[in-house]
A = this chain, B = another copy of it.
Amino acid sequence: MQSLQEAAMRVIARKGMAAATMQEIAREAGVAKGTIYLYFRDRDELVEKTFETAITQLYERIDQAMQSQASFAMKLRAIITAKLEFFSTHREFFRLYLSLRMPEGSAQQQRRQKRTCQPQYRARIEQMADVLRRAMDSGEIRRADPFRLALFLIEGSTAVVVQRVSEDAPPPESEDVDLIVDTILEGISLHPQKRSAD
Contact = CB atoms under 8 A, between A and B. Distances in A.
A1 interface: no
A118 to B, nearest CB: 11
Contact of A192 (B18, B19, B139): B139
Interface in A152-198: 152-160, 162-163, 176, 179-180, 182-190, 192, 194
A18 B179 contact: no
Q: Is the interface of A mostly helix, strand, loop or mixed?
A: helix
A46 to B, nearest CB: 17
A189 B186 contact: yes
B16 A18 contact: no
A74 interface: no
A102 interface: yes
Given A73-B189, A186-B186, 19 more contacts: A16-B103, A18-B104, A19-B107, A102-B162, A104-B104, A141-B190, A142-B188, A147-B163, A148-B160, A148-B163, A148-B176, A151-B160, A151-B163, A152-B180, A152-B183, A153-B156, A155-B158, A156-B159, A184-B188
